[in-house]
A and B are shown apart, each in its own frame.
Chain A
Amino acid sequence: MRHFSSGRLIGILVILLPVVALFSLTVGTVSISWQDALGAVFGNASGTQINTILFDIRLPRILLAIFVGAVLASTGAVMQGLFRNPLADPSLIGVSSGASVGASIMIVTAGGAIQGGALVGLSLVSIGAFVGGFLATLLVYRLATSGMGTSVTTMLLAGIAIGALAGALNSLLSYFSDNDMLRQISLWQMGNLSGASWLKVSIMGVVAVLLMSLFPRDSKALNALLLGESEARHLGINVQWVKRRLIALTALGVGVCVAVAGLVGFVGLIMPHIIRLMIGPDHRWLIPASGLAGAVLLVIADSLARVVVIPAELPTGVLTAILGAPFFVVLLLQQRKDV
């Protein structure tokens, strides 16, 4: 038996998200009372210093965490459905490995120019990551597409091949980097939300809203695809069109995520999995619920990242796994008991 009805879980998450977001506003190197935080959000400024911390640092960072978490988890749910594989995650289509190479190339070749060389407010690393992710996805998609359509199995293998190649390129770039570059590369690969700006938030927000409003159109198609491609076709689904659209949206979403936050792992793989264990695989509920849960997880993880080693900060990506993995194990044990 499932432990939650989908409506109830989504309801709980919708209430939980603003609560954790408000909590997150109050924590950090400087503690702010939740009254001040709430007041500031609704326009009663209580002091310039607090206002600066809230509006220039914490609020963009929290919104970025919400959007990145939602996009990573919902694209994870979509990829697992499309690949009919609960172990798939958005990185399977090559976007993360490509982005990682793109970012490393920028760090190594443009090393000195990184701080100064910002293009319309976005760092060269972000742009390198997005371009790298986009090119890798295009390559994987091309390799898997023939006259017969796109083969999901070939895509899986091509993704692994491109991932391995990207891994090698990354090692090569690391080998030729100096200590400072090496540290930048590995920090980038851990995923971090500390670079949040209103520009990043706006771009990420537009992408998140776009994805969340387009995914529901294909929920039923994804449900049918779980039966198999030929079965989905016999249920009236234009499988090739659905695949192309979902892969393009995922590449866009994850590409922008890695560009603004680096490689935040775990959310895209495990969050849809956890939600599926709770409410089942129906994508009409799975996608929005995963998105909300991913947002909640990333906001909590980022709040902790800011406080556990005050006055320093941990990379956010480290904490998503530390928080999410035990929860996932508990769910697995519970499911084993039920069977």
Chain B
Amino acid sequence: MTMLAKDISLHLSGFDLLRNISLEVEAGKVTAIVGPNGAGKSSLLKVLTGDMTASKGDVYLNSRLLNQWPLLEKAQMLAVLPQHTLLNFSFTADEVVGLGRIPHQTGIVKDQEIIAEALELVDASYLQRRFYTQMSGGEKQRVQLARVLAQIWQSSALGDQFLVLDEPTSAFDLSHQKLTLDIVRQLANKGVGVVMVVHDLNLAARCADNLVVIDGGVIAAQGSPELVLTETLIDDVFKVKAVISEHPITKRPLVIT
């Protein structure tokens, strides 16, 4: 099953934010979206997750129109991590992660278990009883990541699950960047379809099964990172001269600027 955008366009206040974009996010695969600032990456995520309605075209979740899923059922299949979350009430970390269990009726014991496991997975067990409002940017982002992980912790009988991440690693140090990529890979292996916006091309090259390059509201290229990342494309899209090499260990493309 898939999350599918069929020929979508988005016009807002006289601007064409997205034009004729078709995108298929497969379950069990990692799709990375890259592109310059203002290219329409976040708008695409908003349309894919139903935060915005496309001016033209349709979005499907597991072959049913996205807006025809009841909200609660949709929430059991699709978890979304926004770029910023403005939470200025003093929840503790485990309470924040617990919010991810709202769409489920698994009972408090099971939920507590999932919350503890999710926090441990993102290396945030030590934050459990700390106040969200007193955490550093990276700690907050890890707790939010744990929240969306807790939301799709168990597979759903309704259909395949999807996780949408908008720049999940922007506040992370090297080790937590790697941790995030490992988690994303684990989820994909479990059958979850992951879509993420990333800024670091090398990060994208390392984790993506499908790399989507967006420029000026249209898809400039998509496919496996090896095929997509070429010196001409980087020059065209980012206006930067780069050399494409190969990572000595992962054998993935390595962009050197």
Decide if B102 touches A223 in the complex (CB within 8 Å). yes
Could you give, for residues 233-255 of chain B, a 1 whenever the CB lies within 8 Å of some chain A CB and a 0 otherwise?
Answer: 00000000000000000000000
The answer to whether B87 touches A236 (Cβ under 8 A) is no
List 4 A-B pairs, minimum CB-CB distance, nearest first. Answer: A236-B75, A236-B72, A281-B89, A236-B103
**Chain B residues numbered 46-81 whose CB sits less than 8 Å from any CB in chain A:** 49-51, 71-76, 78-80
Contacts of B13 in A (CB 8 A): none
Report the number of A-B residue pairs with Cβ-Cβ less than 8 Å. 65
- Residues of B near A235 (CB, < 8 A) are 75, 99-100, 102-103, 151
Give the interface of A toward B (CB within 8 A): 1, 84, 86, 220, 223-224, 226-228, 230-231, 233-238, 276, 280-282, 339
What is the bound-complex CA distance between A236 and B74, given in angstroms?
7
Asked, given contacts A231-B85, A235-B103, whether A226 binds B91 with beta carbons under 8 Å apart, the answer is yes
A236 to B50, CA, bound (A): 12
Nearest CB on B from A294, distance (A): 19
Q: Is the CB of A234 within 8 A of B75?
A: yes
Chain B residues, Cβ within 8 Å of A1: 129
Q: Does B117 contact A (CB under 8 A)?
A: no
> Which of B51, B74, B99 is the one whose CB lies under 8 Å from A227?
B99
CB <8 Å contact, B90 and A281:
yes
Known: A223-B102, A224-B102, A228-B82. A236 touches B89 (CB 8 A): no
1/0 per residue, CB under 8 A from A, across B111-139: the answer is: 00000000000000000010000100000
B71 A238 Cβ-Cβ under 8 A: yes
| Nearest neighbor of B46 in chain A, beta-carbon distance | A230
Q: Does A224 lie within 8 Å of B99, measured CB to CB?
A: yes
Q: Flag whether B92 is at the interface (Cβ < 8 A).
A: yes
A-B contact pairs, 29 of them (CB 8 A): A1-B129, A84-B86, A86-B88, A220-B102, A223-B95, A224-B102, A226-B87, A227-B87, A228-B85, A230-B82, A231-B80, A231-B82, A233-B71, A234-B49, A234-B75, A234-B79, A235-B75, A235-B100, A235-B102, A235-B151, A236-B72, A236-B73, A236-B103, A237-B102, A276-B89, A280-B90, A280-B95, A281-B91, A282-B91
| 8 other A-B residue contacts (CB within 8 Å) besides A84-B88, A234-B75, A235-B100 | A86-B89, A234-B79, A234-B80, A235-B75, A235-B151, A236-B72, A237-B102, A281-B90
Q: Which residue of A lies closest to B70 (CB)?
A: A236
Question: Which residues 205-238 of B have a CB within 8 angstroms of A?
Answer: none
Contact across chains for A236 and B91 when beta carbons are under 8 A apart: no
CA of A281 to CA of B98 in the docked complex: distance in angstroms? 13
Report the bound CA distance from A45 to B103 in whole Å. 55
**A237 vs B82: C-alpha distance when bound (angstroms):** 17
With A235-B103, A237-B102 known as contacts, the answer to whether A230 contacts B51 (CB < 8 A) is yes
Q: A220-B102, A223-B102, A227-B85 are in contact. Are A233 and B51 (CB under 8 A)?
A: yes
How far is the CB of A243 from the nearest CB of chain B, in Å? 14
Nearest A-chain residue to B72, judged by Cβ? A236
Cβ–Cβ < 8 Å partners of A280 in chain B: 90-92, 95
Q: Are B102 and A236 in contact (CB under 8 A)?
A: yes
Chain A residues with Cβ below 8 Å from B100 are 235
Could you tell me the distance in whole angstroms from the C-beta of A38 to the nearest C-beta in chain B? 40
